[in-house]
Amino acid sequence: MSDQTLAFVASNAPEATQARQELDDKYGGTPPEEADVIVALGGDGFMLQTMHRYLNRQVPIYGMNQGTIGFLMNEYEADGLTERVAKAEQAVLHPLRMTALPISGGEYHALAINEVSLLRQSRQAAKIRISIDGRVRVPELICDGVLLATPAGSTAYNLSAHGPILPLNAGVLALTPISAFRPRRWRGALLPREAEVKLEILQQEKRPVSATADAFEVRNVSEVLIREARDIGIKVLFDPEHNLEERILNEQFTP
């Protein structure tokens, strides 16, 4: 549909704010709370912020790169935007739901579109017990940390930690250790998307660990539970020649 109303949101980068002004002047932007499609201008970090901010609106988000990497973004071009949006292909992303229990008590809940990561807070390595669906799989992982990544996030931090790239329709999540010392040969695992992952921190006071769901951090955690939020679907639009499935596949052949 070419008559969809568009809302333009931008990062604080000068090129992004300038692009937003250009598009507002050209198309007469609608407020994000009322638009049929939200157009995000910036880099991948801003795209993640936009997805989190408008999660409850459940409208498609079309990103245009005015940042650095732009893996989740389309190329910026002011002309013919309404036609591009109308022809765009939709990918539905399901975030991870994290429940983090700090040593001090209580619990925190957050969603992660890319990954949930646990990282050591001190000079000493973390010690983490990993359970999948109630069964202990790694009694003690000595490491800098560990992460659970979605397919959309598998090309981000997960890839830097030597984790696998996951096709969107693979139906799996990547559990990846970060600088593991013991077990030395364990390189992680592929888990079914329905799996519930429990990460228990051993020697919590001596070896403190933080938990992060995208940009939301909880420090000094004792336990973290993670599972995919199948009830939440985030709609992201991509130009047909650069759809997300193709980008993820192409990353596996990039030198």
Residues labelled as active-site residues: 44
Element containing residue 158 per DSSP (H, E): helix 157-160
Contacts of 196 (CB under 8 A, 6+ apart): 132, 133, 134, 225, 226, 227
Instruction: Give 232-235 contacts, CB < 8 A, sequence gap 24+.
Output: 232/55, 232/94, 232/95, 232/111, 233/58, 233/92, 233/93, 233/94, 234/51, 234/55, 234/61, 234/92, 234/93, 234/94, 234/95, 234/113, 235/58, 235/59, 235/60, 235/61, 235/90, 235/91, 235/92
Tell me, what DSSP letter sits at residue 34?
T
Q: How far is CA 63 from the centre of its chain?
A: 15
- Using alpha carbons, select from 111, 98, 129, 136 the residue that is nearest to residue 207: 129
Contacts of 22 (CB under 8 A, 6+ apart): 78
Task: Give the C-alpha separation, 91 to 174, whole Å.
Answer: 19
Q: Is 219 exposed, middle or buried (0-12, 13-18, 19+ CB in 10 A)?
A: middle
